Amino acid sequence: MEKAIERQRVLLHHLRPSFTSSSLENIDSSLSASICAAGDSAAYHRSSVYGDDVVIVAAYRTALCKSKRGGFKDTHPDDLLAPVLRALIEKTNLNPSEVGDIVVGTVLAPGSQRASECRMAAFYAGFPETVPIRTVNRQCSSGLQAVADVAAAIKAGFYDIGIGAGLESMTANPMAWEGSVNPKVKTMAQAQDCLLPMGVTSENVAHRFSVTRQEQDQAAVESHRKAAAATASGKFKEEIIPVDTKIVDPKTGDEKPVTISVDDGIRPNATISDLAKLKPVFKKDGTTTAGNSSQVSDGAGAVLLMKRSIAMQKGLPILGVFRTFAAVGVDPAIMGVGPAVAIPAAVKAAGLELDDIDLFEINEAFASQFVYCRKKLELDPEKINVNGGAMAIGHPLGATGARCVATLLHEMKRRGKDCRFGVISMCIGTGMGAAAVFERGDSVDDLCNARKIGTNNFLSKDAQ
C-alpha cells in the first residue's frame, strides 16, 4: 500500500510540475488508500464503509385478514404483533437482549394505549425488560417509517441491532375522527383538504389525471390474479408467520381455535364484468368503488436490521440492504400522487436511475392513484407488485410498510441475480409520499450487474 501511495505522489508531481518540494509535502498529507469503485455498477458505487451497511436479516408478517369479517376479527392487536416479533428471534437464534430498540408503525389506536399493547407484545414474544419499544405514526407509511427510523439509528451508532415493525387492527380501531375540529381549518384550503375522505382524494386523482374506471378495475383484477397465483404457488409461505387465535361465533359466543396463515381477502375469480357492477362509493358519478380500493384489514409485520459486520460475525444470511429513504409532501387534495414524487427522490439519493430498479412494491391504496403513479413514472408493469397488492392482499395502515418489506425482499431473493434493486413506496393521508430503496442481500458481494469490460482491462478486479 505504501508503494501505491508513493506512485500516486510521483504521478501528481509529473502532472503538476509547478509544485515545489514544499508543496509535495502537502500532497503526501492528502493521499490515502481507498477502494476503487471504477468497476462497480454504472449507477451505484460501493464505499469503504461496507461493514457499516445496514442490512435486513429477517422479515416476516402475519396473513392479512378482512376487518370485522376475517380471521383476525377476534384477535387482540398485541396478539398480532407478538408472533412476528417472536419469529425474528426464533428463526435467527438471536439473543433478544441484543436488540437496541423496537419501533412499531401504527396509526389508528390511541397513542398511549397502542404503546402499552406493543410493550406487552414484546414481552409475550420473549424480549426482556431491558429492550425498549416505541411507536411511530406517519399514517400509511408508518411501517416503512419504522424500518427507516431503525436503519437511521443503526447508521448513527445508537445501537447495532434493531427491529422495525408495523401493526394495525382496523377491527379494533376503525378510522374515525375523535372530538371536534378546529374551526380555523375553514380559513385555509390546504388545511381543509387534510380532512378529505381518502376516497374523495382518489376521485380527485382520477378526474384530474384522466384515469378511467376501466383502467382502475383492470388494475384491481390484475392485483387479485397475481396475489392468487402467488398464494397458490406458495410464494407467501416464506414470509407469513401462522398465528394461533380464535374465531367467536357472533350469535352463540362460541369460540373456535384456528390457525391463520393465508390472506383472506384475495378473490381469485375477480373479473372486469364483476367489478363493473359495483357502484361508486364516494361520488355519485365517480369511479372509485369497493372493488378498486385497498381492503380494510388487520395484520402485523416485523423486520430485523443490523450492521453488516454484526450479521457477518453472527453468520446470519443477509436478505437485503437498506439503502435510502425519502418522505415528501404533496397536495392533500390529491394525496395519492405521493409515490410519483417520493420514488424519484429515494432512487436519486441512492445514486440510481429508475431503470436500475428491478422490482417495485407500490401500495395500492386506490387503483386511481396506483395507475397514475405507474403511468407518470413510465414504469414497466411487469416490475410492479408482481405478487399482487393492497387491493387484493389488504392494507392494515400501520403494518403495510413492514408487509411490503417482507414481500419485496423474499421475492428479490427468489429471483437472485436477475434482481438487484427494489423500491417500496406508498401515498400518505394529508398529502405525502414515502419511498425506500433496498438492495438484494448477496448482490453487493457478487457484483452481479457490474459493467462489462472490453479487451483492454484497465479497471479494478472488482469488475471481473
The whole-number pLDDT of residue 354 equals: 97
Active site residue 140: yes
Active site residue 207: no
The whole-number pLDDT of residue 50 equals: 72
State mean pLDDT over 247-269. 95
The whole-number pLDDT of residue 418 equals: 87
Q: Which is catalytic among the residues 118, 224, 373, 395? A: 395
Task: Return phi, psi of residue 262, to 5°.
Answer: -135, 135
- And the C-alpha cell for 1? 500500500
Q: Is 106 left (phi over 0), alpha (psi -120 to 50) or beta?
A: beta
Task: Return the axis-axis angle of helices 213-232 and 367-376, rounded to nearest 10°.
Answer: 90
- Report d(CA 409, CA 247) in Å as an integer: 32
Of 24-38, 65-79, 169-183, 303-317, the one with minimum mean pLDDT is: 24-38
Structure confidence by residue, pLDDT tens digits, 336-369: 999 999 999 999 999 999 999 999 999 999 999 9
Nearest C-alpha neighbor of 164 from the set 398, 395, 429, 412 = 398
Strand stretches in 8-74, DSSP E: 54-61, 65-66
Query: In a 3-state reduction of DSSP, which class is residue 428?
Result: strand
> Which CATH number is correct for 52-173+198-446, 3.30.420.40, 3.40.47.10, 3.40.50.300, 3.40.50.2300?
3.40.47.10
> What's the pTM value of the predicted model, to 2 decimals?
0.85
- Report d(CA 346, CA 324) in Å as an integer: 6
The whole-number pLDDT of residue 176 equals: 85
Of 13-27, 169-183, 332-346, 381-395, the one with minimum mean pLDDT is: 13-27
The whole-number pLDDT of residue 456 equals: 43
pLDDT at 42 exceeding the cut of 50: no
- What is the DSSP secondary-structure string of 266-280? --TT--HHHHHTSPP
71 and 260 in contact (C-beta within 8 Å)? yes
- What proportions of the chain, in percent to the nearest 5, are helix, strand and coil? 40, 20, 40
Torsion angle of alpha carbons 347, 144, 425, 397, nearest 10°?
-170
The whole-number pLDDT of residue 1 equals: 58
Residue given cell 388487520 in the structure block:
298
Rg of the chain (C-alpha set)? 24
Average pLDDT value over all residues in the chain:
89
Q: What percent of the chain has pLDDT over 90?
A: 82
State mean pLDDT over 122-142. 98
Active site residue 395: yes
Which ranges in 277-337 belong to alpha helices (H)?
A: 308-314
Strand partners, 60: 302
Q: Which is catalytic among the residues 65, 140, 404, 419? A: 140
pLDDT at 464 exceeding the cut of 60: no
> Exposed, middle or buried: residue 272 (CB in 10 Å: 0-12, 13-18, 19+)?
exposed
- And the C-alpha cell for 20? 515545489
Task: Return the axis-axis angle of helices 77-92 and 111-125, rounded to nearest 10°.
Answer: 40
Question: When comparing pLDDT for 344 and 417, which is higher?
Answer: 344
Domain spans, the chain: 52-173+198-446
Question: When comparing pLDDT for 357 and 458, which is higher?
Answer: 357
Q: Which is catalytic among the residues 65, 118, 373, 427? A: 427
pLDDT at 374 exceeding the cut of 50: yes
State mean pLDDT over 264-291. 96
State mean pLDDT over 256-272. 97
- Report d(CA 357, CA 92) in Å as an integer: 29
303 and 74 in contact (C-beta within 8 Å)? no
- Report d(CA 276, CA 214) in Å as an integer: 8
Of 22-36, 105-119, 440-454, the one with minimum mean pLDDT is: 22-36
